[in-house]
A and B are shown apart, each in its own frame.
Chain A
Amino acid sequence: MANFGTIGLSIAFGMGIYSVVAFFMFNSNRGLKYLLSAKNAVYGTALFTTLSVFAMLYALITGDFSIEYVTQYTSQDLPTIYKLTALWAGNAGSLLFWAWILVLLAALVTVSKENREYIPYASPIMMVVSVFFLFMLNFVSQPFVQLLNPPPDGMGMNPMLQNPGMVIHPVTLYLGYVGFTVPFAFAMAALIMKNPGDQWIKLTRKWTLISWLFLTLGNLFGAQWAYVELGWGGYWAWDPVENASLMPWLTGSAFLHSVMVQERKNMLKIWNMVLIIVTFGLTLFGTFLVRSGVVASVHAFGNSSLGAYFLIFTSLIILAALYLVADRINLLRQGNQFESYISKESSFLLNNLLLVGSAFSIFWGTVFPIVSEAVVGQKIAVGIPFFNQVNAPIGLAFTLLMGICPLIAWRKANFENIAKNFLWPWIIAIIGMLLMVFIGGITKPYALIAYTICVFVISSTLQDIFKGVRVRKKLTGENLIVSLIRLLSKNRRRYGGYVIHMGIVMMIVGITGSNVFNSEAVKTFKPGETAEVGGYTISFKGLQQTSRDNMEVIYADLSVIHNNNDMGNLQVEKVFYSTSEQPMTEPAIISTFKEDLYVLLTGWEDDGTAIFKIHINPQIKWLWTGGWVIVIGVIFALWPGKGSGVGSRYLGRGEVSYGKRVR
């Protein structure tokens, strides 16, 4: 198997290089045969990489401990699902996985008929990136290294990675990372072809949106994994590795919005180019951060030489891309100018500045220890308060814009119209705020501002839908429901966007609640004792010990009563894995939309007394649910067929488009 995999990777590497060369030959007018041959080489690269991945999966499942990687990350008693996911548990395997997704995407892009014009340029760019990964797999971080004396059993997987969240989190994140290579390659192709219009944006829209969705989910699954597995009661710690995946999400979100301005108004071309280059660069930079060990992180991969290669490759490709932009700058300059400062396009630009500003602050905070050590010789880090203090106000301003942006007109809006349009949403938001203060008893200013903004965004979005329905009803004579369904389904791109916004609002609610109102307590229980914590009546029955699969478990049974409702039993565990010295504290969670009860077993004494740490984390469920709402929104917007296209250009407020493309 090991030889099979190694040979597969070398053939894939060779074919990858050949495809780039053959595309180059075709582009220098050496004939059509080179194009066909180049395309075939792309498919061949994909095929042989796939075979290598299968070889690795086969070795992992069958427990072929003659392969070092298999020995390092699995053991015989590991459940099968984690044997499979060991593919991305270590450096070499996750690079293989990454390369695999990348070459599959390259093949998909190359085979697609609608990309015909762009293939000779976009495919080789994707292949250059693929060749880099295949180079790493062949020469730097080889997954199929064999051991001279195979051990009878492997070392097992890190217990923290044995969690469903770790099955899905890396996959979604990598799909998101890799996916952004497609719009990047098309953007570069457009520049090479001197075709700076919006064609590349239209062709890659679905790729961009799907990649963005996976990046969103990757971040969320990661946060959820940290929450249920790391046992510190939170889900986001501004760790360098977390920041590495948030930064491309922020710039990618900015890109998704600013391309709309280019599609509708033929402007912001340079900005869009720079945004996609930066986003693509950040996906590679994230890999560099995670693999190089240059920043101290709780959950980075170990130190390795991979970082240097990534840094060099990223710098080269970004420099080449920026050179291309500079060279074609006159082409990109053509187009429209801003006509008014109060218009949809200017509000989009503001949204972009906020997102990019946020990404910049996170970048700065993440690399600051490296910079300060290089410049003043003293390593200075910035803690969590820095990130919160900078990003909370930016986040709120950005949420507020989400309520304003979709509703103001393209080109030129005026204050009277805006005042009229936003009268009701503001009245509702202020009523909501008063209710929260006098009935809900919320007095913390940050929370109050955040919730009020959320109410505003929801009501302004609903108002817009309602207005559209009313106009449609009048024009067509349909009843309310039919008219609502037809309105939404014929402008799916627009209303899908609204659904995504609602998902983001839910996430903002969750983030606000869990950060502002969280509380924690430490309680010592004797067996049979009952205590009241944060409105929950918790009874401790006693400690038990059991063994299952590859671990020993000490657990406590707790029964929980809240507001006279029996919330059931909680089993709080401390798990000792046979393959690891370090025990794992597994939290038990009762989750509702109001709050999470999050209990950890922190220790015990000889007489059976147990010590628990109990967190009350309000509204966290809103965060996860918001993520699923975003999934629905993206699917709604992208579902093939009528209504997923761009709306008419220069759509004014009050006119309702029925999804016809006016071109």
Chain B
Amino acid sequence: MPKKIKLILALSVLLGAFGYLMVSGFNNAKTYYMTINEVTASADKGKLGKQTLKVSGKLVGESVQWEPSKMELRFEMISEDQKETMPVLYKGVKPDNFNDGIEVIVDGKYTVEQVFLADKVLTKCPSKYEEQQ
């Protein structure tokens, strides 16, 4: 076999493997950013399916129910325009700064029971590196 063809073959095998890794990895891990309004609107139309979502909103302080013995955290998030709320269930530890009005980002799926089942709850601290200006 001429050198060129060998080289092209070897490179295509490599590229093919790499492409396969990228595409399959991507399909397993893609997450859609949505607002609470978008989530409830899409859920009403039944368009959400089993997609992984990343939803941000503000925490409703008085909705927080934390049961340490069961490791179960329930709370509600409210949209920026204060119109829609979304209940969240998270099997995990309550974050340190879980106060009313803090910005919360949840990763997970929206279930048919209209509860957001979160795999991850992140709180955005208002003063990370830079102070608010």
Distance from B42 Cβ to chain A, minimum over Cβ atoms (Å): 11
A379 touches B94 (CB 8 A): no
Q: B31 contacts A300, CB within 8 Å?
A: no
> With A381-B33, A383-B52, A583-B96 as given contacts, are A389 and B28 in contact (CB-CB < 8 Å)?
yes
Q: What chain B residues lie within 8 Å of A301 (beta carbons)?
A: 128-130
Residues of B close to A583: CB separation below 8 A: 96-97
Contact, CB under 8 Å: A382 / B68:
no
Q: Could you tell me if B93 and A357 are in contact, using CB atoms closer than 8 angstroms?
A: no
Interface size, B (range): 35 or more
CA distance A448 to B24 in the complex (A): 23
- Interface window among B14-22, B57-65, B75-83: B14-22
Check A584 against B96 for contact (C-beta < 8 Å): yes
Q: Is A522 an interface residue (CB 8 A)?
A: yes
- Say yes or no: A298-B122 contact (C-beta < 8 A), given A158-B129, A381-B54, A603-B93: yes
Q: In the complex, which residues of chain B have a beta carbon less than 8 angstroms from the beta carbon of A379?
A: 32-33
Q: In the complex, what distance in Å separates the CA atom of A384 from the CA atom of B6?
A: 36
What sequence of 0s and 1s flags, for each residue 9-50 of chain B, a beta carbon within 8 Å of any chain A beta carbon?
Answer: 010001000100110111011111100000000000000000
* A90-B129, A582-B96, A582-B125 given; A603·B25 CB < 8 A: no
- Contact: B25 with A386, CB < 8 Å? yes
Interface set, chain B 62-119, CB cutoff 8 A to A = 66, 68-69, 71, 93-94, 96-97, 99, 105, 107
Q: Are B29 and A384 neighbours in the complex by a CB distance under 8 Å?
A: yes
Interface residues of A in 606-627 (CB under 8 A from B): 611, 613
Interface size on A, residues (CB 8 A): 50
Q: Residues of A contacting B18 with CB < 8 Å?
A: 357, 361
Residues of chain B within 8 A (CB-CB) of A341 are 3, 6-7, 10
A158–B125 Cα distance when bound, in Å, is: 11
**0 or 1 for each of A295-309: is its CB under 8 Å from B? (1 = yes):** 010111110100000
> Which residues of chain A (55-91) have a CB below 8 Å from chain B?
72, 89-91
Contact with B along A348-386 (1 / 0, CB 8 A): 000001000100010010000100000000111111111
Q: Interface SS of chain A: helix, strand, loop or mixed?
A: mixed
In Å, the complex CA distance between A369 and B54 comes to: 12
Partner of A386, one of B28, B69, B129: B28
Give chain A nearest CB distance to B19 CB in angstroms.
10
Q: How far is the CA of A369 from the CA of B34 in the complex (A)?
A: 12
Q: How far is the CA of A567 from the CA of B104 in the complex (A)?
A: 38
Complex interface: chain A residues within 8 A of B132 (CB) = 302
With A and B bound together, what is the CA distance between A382 and B32 in angstroms? Answer: 9
Give the complex CA separation of A393 and B24 in angstroms.
13
Across the interface, name the chain B residue whose C-beta is closest to A357.
Answer: B18
Contacts of B122 in A (CB 8 A): 298
Produce 1/0 per residue, A554-584, CB < 8 A to B.
Answer: 0000000000000000000010000011111
Q: What are 24 A-B pairs with beta-carbon distances under 8 A? A: A158-B128, A158-B129, A161-B129, A296-B105, A298-B122, A301-B129, A341-B6, A341-B7, A379-B33, A381-B31, A383-B31, A383-B107, A387-B29, A389-B24, A522-B93, A574-B96, A582-B96, A582-B97, A585-B96, A602-B68, A603-B66, A611-B68, A611-B69, A613-B93
Binding site for A on B (CB under 8 A): 3, 6-7, 10, 14, 18, 21-22, 24-26, 28-33, 52, 54, 66, 68-69, 71, 93-94, 96-97, 99, 105, 107, 122, 125, 127-133
Q: Show the binding face of A for B, using Cβ within 8 Å.
A: 72, 89-91, 155, 158, 161, 296, 298-302, 304, 341, 353, 357, 361, 364, 369, 378-390, 393-394, 522, 524, 574, 580-585, 600, 602-603, 605, 611, 613
